[in-house]
Chains A and B, each alone.
Chain A
Amino acid sequence: QVQLVESGGGVVQPGRSLRLSCAASGFTFSNYGMNWVRQAPGKGLEWVAVIWSDGGNKYYADSVKGRFTVSRDNSKNTLYLQMDSLRAEDTAVYHCATRHSGGWFYFDYWGLGTLVTVSS
């Protein structure tokens, strides 16, 4: 069955960097566009970024554009999110999610997420 397992979260100071990973299994990873979606503690969902199946296209939310970079390694079935210049408002659980067959803007399978806390 489809499994998505995020890792790499933790406590980091404002202005520092962190790289998240999402290990995928149970499906042909290289065929699927992938998204990152975050959820601040007790708050709603916020889309962060998407990357096409071949890595050729990448799009970002305005709130992270220029600071976050999404990438993937299809040989390792792994999705990444490089987060630079972190701010307190980036504190959230970060989920990776596959695109749905209906469109890249729908999220089908999700991981449980990894918590990122930005605090001094």
Chain B
Amino acid sequence: QSALTQPPSASGSPGQSVTISCTGTSSDVGGYNYVSWYQQHPGKAPKLMIYDVTKRPSGVPDRFSGSKSGNTASLTVSGLQAEDEADYYCSSYAGGNTIIFGGGTKLSVL
């Protein structure tokens, strides 16, 4: 299985909104509502930000939201803050008891 496709970079100014896409196929993103998003700061472990396409774990600000249309999932960060600058990875269940990740997107807050 190939990795899910994410843009290598995204950026926005403080207070703005930015959306990161994650494109897969009907065998993964399009086939299941088991998409998640992780935030990773340099030298840190990843942190779960979104699961089940749209759900936020406890403690994740509501500035983070997820959605899906067809084979493409999206993460939107509203009201950008400096601490949102990080790498973001999408992930999807891909059937056959396997999980696939995206290549990652580096979000810069200008």
Residues on A close to B: CB < 8 A?
37, 43-47, 50, 59, 61-62, 95, 100, 102-103, 105-108, 110-113
Q: How large is the interface on B (under 10, 10 to 19, 20 to 34, 35 or more residues)?
A: 20 to 34
Provide a sorted-by-A list of 9 A–B residue pairs whose CB atoms are within 8 angstroms: A44-B89, A44-B102, A45-B38, A47-B101, A59-B98, A61-B99, A62-B98, A105-B93, A106-B51
Chain B nearest CB: distance from A17 CB in Å?
24
B residues within 8 A CB of A37? 46
Kindly state whether residue B72 has any CB partner on chain A within 8 Å: no
Q: Which of B45, B99, B104 contacts A113 (CB 8 A)?
A: B45
Chain A nearest CB: distance from B87 CB in Å?
8
The answer to whether A44 and B104 touch (CB under 8 A), given A106-B36, A107-B38, is yes
Contact A61 B98 (CB under 8 A): yes
The A-contacting residues of B in range 21-79, CB under 8 angstroms, are 34, 36, 38, 44-48, 51-52, 55, 57
- Report the bound CA distance from A107 to B1 in whole Å: 20
A residues within 8 A CB of B18? none
Chain A interface helix/strand/loop/mixed: strand
Kindly state whether residue B103 has any CB partner on chain A within 8 Å: yes
Chain A nearest CB: distance from B102 CB in Å?
7
Contact A105 B99 (CB under 8 A): yes
The answer to whether A45 and B52 touch (CB under 8 A), given A103-B34, A105-B93, is no
Contact A46 B48 (CB under 8 A): no
- Report the bound CA distance from A64 to B3 in whole Å: 16
A residues within 8 A CB of B55? 102
- Report the bound CA distance from A62 to B38 in whole Å: 22
The residue on A at minimum CB distance from B102 is A44
The answer to whether A108 and B48 touch (CB under 8 A), given A62-B1, A100-B57, is yes
Chain A nearest CB: distance from B38 CB in Å?
7
